[in-house]
Structure 1
Amino acid sequence: MSTPTGPYAALQIPDFRLFISTRFCVTLAIQIQAVVVAWQVYEITNDALSLGLIGLAEAVPSISVSLYAGHLADIMNRKKIIVICLATLLLCSLSLLFFTLEPGKFILSYGALPIYAVIFVSGIARGFITPALFSFMPQLVPRELYSNAITWNSTLWETAAIGGPALGGLLYGWLGIQASYAADVLLMLTGLLLAIGVTNKPVPPESEEQGIFEKIKAGLRFVFHHQIILGAISLDLFAVLFGGAVALLPIFAKEILMVGPQGLGLLRAAPSIGALLMAFYITHHPIKKNTGKILLYCVAGFGVCMILFALSTNFLISLFLLMMSGMFDCVSVIIRGTLLQTLTPENMKGRVSAVNHIFIGSSNEIGMFESGVAARLLRVVPSVIFGGCMTLVSVGTIAVLAKSLRRLQRVH
């Protein structure tokens, strides 16, 4: 059978369609949950630091299991790992819903602590599922369609990331917290059922290293000795660690822009609207040259958007700046994803993805904690300006140190 061609090539493969549909539903559920949890915790505590602690509660377990999770993704059935993790996330969603029902409301007499406990468990599940998803996807499409598949994967993810925050904010604002968590549960269940329908794929041949620790060390060695991959990952690490303002959006929505939970949903969705537009553009007009420089410019653009967002007191201008930040971030995500999939051997994808998750995925949550601490010390607006400036400093440093990345013309 010949390999499909054109901008919609990857979508012609049934297993890939099921895979991205799974990610769509799960991402939609997670985004709804994130909006509702953030608003609920802030209402309980009325403290900026408590919002940062949400990220820390997820990042600590996720980082702790990531390297081992990457090792498992290289030696076990990846679909099985994904299904088990999705079942765990479904139980977490059910727990959050239970806390809002009459029999479970007494649990919240302990304040936000029970919510943090559920987020902690979900962090463990997300730590295991991330390398499994990353390494499972290239088994569903031919190698020549990696870039196309990654772009479509990003497009569907961004679509869900748009709908999730907006839907979460609207459901919370109009129908209440129970309807919001019920939607989270339903979507997570749908994602689990779709994942079960994907065809099992064989476990790749094991790499030659002996023992768990040697295999993990080999994955770390591969990343840290590969200047292009290390440079690309480091760029996103510092951008999301310092540059993001997502954790503080409830404060911007409530106290600076004064737009309530509905406005918070739109603010959370704005970066993904920009990212979706950019992903759709790249699907039809792939990046063919100056890849390294484009990556550097886009991460710098993200930092500038964060600085300007912090200074804005106009809701529409703030939405536009967040949308632009999403456009810049989308380019970085697609380039980094294509680099990792193309340059990493099949039997090492789980471990390399785990390192990437520690750098990028968990740094989102640690970035939330950093934002909460910085907001407590510097106040909200100066903390976001500081983060944007640190992003620009990071781009300049990596541009000087990672010459191979700066000179990169095209991802093959």
Structure 2
Amino acid sequence: MADSSSPLRNTSFLALLSSRFLAAIATQVQAVAVGWHIYDIARDPMALGYVGLAVFIPMALATLPAGDMVDRYSRRTMLAVGGTMQCITAASMLALTLMNVQILWPYYAALVFMGIGRALGGPAYQALVPQIVPEAQLGRAVAMTSSAFQSATIAGPAVGGLIYLAGPDITFALCFAFYAVSVSVLALVRGPFPKPVITPGIGAVGRLVAGMNYVRSNPVVLGALSLDMMAVLLGGATALLPIFARDVLHTGPEGLGMLRAAPAVGAVAVGLILGRWPLQQRTGFYLFSCVGLFGLATIGFGLSGNFVFSLFCLLVMGASDMISMYVRQTLVQLATPDAMRGRVSAVNVLFIGASNELGEFESGVTAAWFGVVPAAVLGGIGTIVVVGLWAWMFPALRTVDRLTDVKPVLPDEPDAVPQKA
């Protein structure tokens, strides 16, 4: 039962949460369908690698400009445009499968729209939440939206696999319907929204530079974003799960499915707890502690030869990552002026998107060099080292007490430090 202080009593937030969940389910289902269909055509693992590249390159190129657009125009509209791009991807995939196209480049071209949609939707979504949720409820709102996304991560692949049995055309048609409904639901997200603050005489490049300079000059924002980025970059053991499942834990596809779901299960469980009982104090301490715990759990997973203990380590990794993500996203939103939230959120999306992709690459390289177990252990050790370095380099972040203590720093203030409420 939602209480009076719950964001769930806010119709606009509930609509936004529903939209995010539907889009996330569609994305997970579509990822399964795209992978199966492309591999059916090519029978080449590299063809699947190009799938990620087709999404990542346009996302990486468009994210920062998209952040500027989010700050200049309606964030709800930008989110709807991003969702429409995803609709175009699903519709294109449906058309290609119905026409039985057997060459790959049209599929990759369709995925470019997915990358652009993610570039627009990520910053727009993150910057829109603080506009419709009161500051006192922001932490709970972040936990709820993260839980919704993780729930989709758990259910989506299984649902996608079952639907794909009916055929790729049915699967892509359903994805299109989910994306379309997610865009339509945004009409229920109501304002009034503050008008964008546009400084005259500053061009697009100047605005982008201002956003990046704000991140660079504010130790709370820079520390939170870079800590998470480094943890994901170094602790990417989940990319090695197929190898661990087969060669280390000696389990089959069903075991791999359980291993893949375990981090999301841990994240959802903790997200539900945070949605009900948000952190009240010592949030900087919890941020660093949970990233350190993520590193320890990664080491434990790497050294484990027991399936049950490996599941436990992955659950801990997901749970600790949820707490650090909850603190990071809330801190970044509270420490950023509304006029810059689109650009700062774009930097956040770019940091995390790049670290996910590069983290998988790093894990693959170290596994090839040293072996899969040393790769996971070294990644966990590296994460713990980063926690110690960042705790020393960013004392303003380490000593944050209440989340609501953090206030935006005006651009003309020389020292970007948390301001007490």
d(CA) in 1 for partners of 2:252 and 2:296? 26
Which residue is equivalent to 1:15?
A: 12
Which residue is equivalent to 1:396?
A: 388
**For the structure 1 residues 393 and 245, does the alpha-carbon distance in structure 2 shift closer, same or farther, using more than 3 Å as the test?**
same
Which residue is equivalent to 1:65?
A: 62
Task: Report the AA paired with residue 217 of structure 1.
Answer: V
CA contact (8 A) 1:32 1:184 kept: yes
Which residue is equivalent to 1:149?
A: 141
**Deviation by residue 1:202-222 (Cα, 9 ceiling, x = unmatched):** 453314362212211111111
Q: What runs of 5+ residues in structure 1 fail to find an aligned partner?
A: none
Counting matched residue pairs gives: 401
**For the structure 1 residues 102 and 159, does the alpha-carbon distance in structure 2 shift closer, same or farther, using more than 3 Å as the test?**
closer
d(CA) in 2 for partners of 1:170 and 1:35? 10
Which residue is equivalent to 2:321?
A: 329
> Is 1:104 the counterpart of 2:100 in the alignment?
yes
**Deviation by residue 1:169-210 (Cα, 9 ceiling, x = unmatched):** 5555x6665555454333223212222443365453314362
Which residue is equivalent to 2:277?
A: 285
The percent of aligned pairs where both chains have the same amino acid is: 38
**Deviation by residue 1:206-263 (Cα, 9 ceiling, x = unmatched):** 1436221221111111111111111111111011122123434344456655655554
Which residue is equivalent to 1:349?
A: 341
d(CA) in 2 for partners of 1:37 and 1:248? 21
Which residue is equivalent to 1:76?
A: 73
1:106 aligned counterpart, secondary structure: coil
d(CA) in 2 for partners of 1:344 and 1:231? 13
d(CA) in 2 for partners of 1:307 and 1:40? 35
Tell me how far 1:154 sits from its aligned partner. Answer: 1.8
d(CA) in 2 for partners of 1:199 and 1:296? 36
CA contact (8 A) 1:52 1:371 kept: no
Of 59-68 and 28-37, deviating more is 28-37
Select which of 22, 28, 31 maps to 2:28.
31
d(CA) in 2 for partners of 1:104 and 1:389? 48
Tell me how far 1:378 sits from its aligned partner. Answer: 4.2
**For the structure 1 residues 92 and 219, does the alpha-carbon distance in structure 2 shift closer, same or farther, using more than 3 Å as the test?**
same
**For the structure 1 residues 71 and 211, does the alpha-carbon distance in structure 2 shift closer, same or farther, using more than 3 Å as the test?**
same
d(CA) in 2 for partners of 1:147 and 1:329? 15
**Deviation by residue 1:111-138 (Cα, 9 ceiling, x = unmatched):** xx55544434311221111111111122
Alignment of 1:7-406 (within 5 A): 9-38=6-35, 47=45, 54-99=51-96, 101=97, 103-107=99-103, 110=104, 115-171=107-163, 180-199=171-190, 201-202=192-193, 204-208=195-199, 210-253=202-245, 257=249, 262-406=254-398
2:102 aligned counterpart, secondary structure: helix
Tell me how far 1:45 sits from its aligned partner. Answer: 5.4
Tell me how far 1:355 sits from its aligned partner. Answer: 1.1
CA contact (8 A) 1:278 1:330 kept: yes
**Deviation by residue 1:369-396 (Cα, 9 ceiling, x = unmatched):** 3334444444444333332222222212
Tell me how far 1:268 sits from its aligned partner. Answer: 2.8
**For the structure 1 residues 54 and 270, does the alpha-carbon distance in structure 2 shift closer, same or farther, using more than 3 Å as the test?**
farther
Q: What runs of 5+ residues in structure 2 fail to find an aligned partner?
A: 405-421
d(CA) in 2 for partners of 1:218 and 1:278? 35
d(CA) in 2 for partners of 1:359 and 1:164? 25
Task: Report the AA paired with residue 145 of structure 1.
Answer: Q
Length-normalised TM-score, structure 2: 0.85
Tell me how far 1:401 sits from its aligned partner. Answer: 0.9
Tell me how far 1:285 sits from its aligned partner. Answer: 2.3
d(CA) in 2 for partners of 1:68 and 1:147? 27
d(CA) in 1 for partners of 2:170 and 2:259? 21
**For the structure 1 residues 102 and 133, does the alpha-carbon distance in structure 2 shift closer, same or farther, using more than 3 Å as the test?**
closer
d(CA) in 1 for partners of 2:268 and 2:346? 25
Of 314-323 and 345-354, deviating more is 314-323
CA contact (8 A) 2:141 2:275 kept: no
d(CA) in 2 for partners of 1:119 and 1:317? 38
Task: Report the AA paired with residue 186 of structure 1.
Answer: A
1:408 aligned counterpart, secondary structure: coil
CA contact (8 A) 1:165 1:266 kept: no
1:354 aligned counterpart, secondary structure: helix
